[in-house]
């Protein structure tokens, strides 16, 4: 967002390495960001993606968009973001994906990837020729049925 007043545009649930290791809803690891190994936290509770000031400087990320966005952190405090680095290269496996990263003062992780990034994965969801849906009648309940039953003799034969 260019110019204008400050706007609360995102949420960041910052956590340290120990908290991340205990949290089953996040993923951490070392990934290439702009061809530099970086310690990354993937957290679907965060609305945006962020890069530490130190990493942005050491990478020499030069071009950025000046923004006036506020981010609400876990404590409820609102903090300002002033720089947005657009389409920074991040490699996952063999796939190179562009990520928009707000510069933000943080410790522990060099990059935090939030939900905004998930919307930009090319090829997901796959395009379908047919839109499939199941219409449900009101008042009906789920059917609970084993998908396949085997006679005990067949099961015994299968286990051999």
Please tell me the pTM assigned to this model.
Answer: 0.65
> Per the structure block, which two tokens stand in for 51?
């890069």
Residue 157 inside a domain? The answer is: no
Q: CATH number, domain at 43?
A: 2.40.70.10
pLDDT in tens, 24-70: 888 899 999 999 999 998 988 888 889 999 999 989 888 898 888 77
Listed in sequence order, the DSSP H helices in 60-150 are: 115-118
In a domain, 56, yes or no: yes
Residue that wins the pLDDT comparison between 95 and 143: 95
Task: Classify residue 62: in a domain, yes or no.
Answer: yes
The total number of structural domains in the chain stands at: 1
Domain carrying residue 50: 7-118
Within a domain: residue 87?
A: yes
Residue 68 belongs to a domain: yes
Q: What are phi and psi of 117, to 5 degrees?
A: -65, -40
């Amino acid at each position: 967002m260019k110019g204008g007043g400050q706007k609360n545009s995102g949420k960041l649930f910052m956590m340290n390495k120990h908290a991340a290791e205990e949290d089953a809803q996040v993923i951490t690891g070392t990934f290439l960001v702009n061809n530099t190994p970086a310690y990354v936290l993937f957290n679907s509770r965060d609305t945006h993606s962020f890069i530490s000031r130190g990493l942005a400087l050491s990478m020499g990320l030069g071009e950025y968009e000046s923004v006036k966005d506020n981010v609400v952190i876990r404590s409820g405090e609102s903090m300002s973001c002033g720089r947005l680095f657009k389409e920074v290269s991040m490699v996952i496996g063999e796939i190179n994906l562009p990520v928009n990263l707000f510069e933000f003062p943080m410790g522990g992780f060099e990059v935090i990837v939030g939900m905004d990034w998930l919307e930009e994965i090319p090829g997901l969801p796959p395009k379908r020729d047919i839109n499939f849906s199941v219409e449900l009648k009101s008042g009906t309940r789920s059917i609970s049925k084993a998908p396949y039953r085997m006679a005990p003799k067949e099961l015994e034969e299968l286990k051999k």
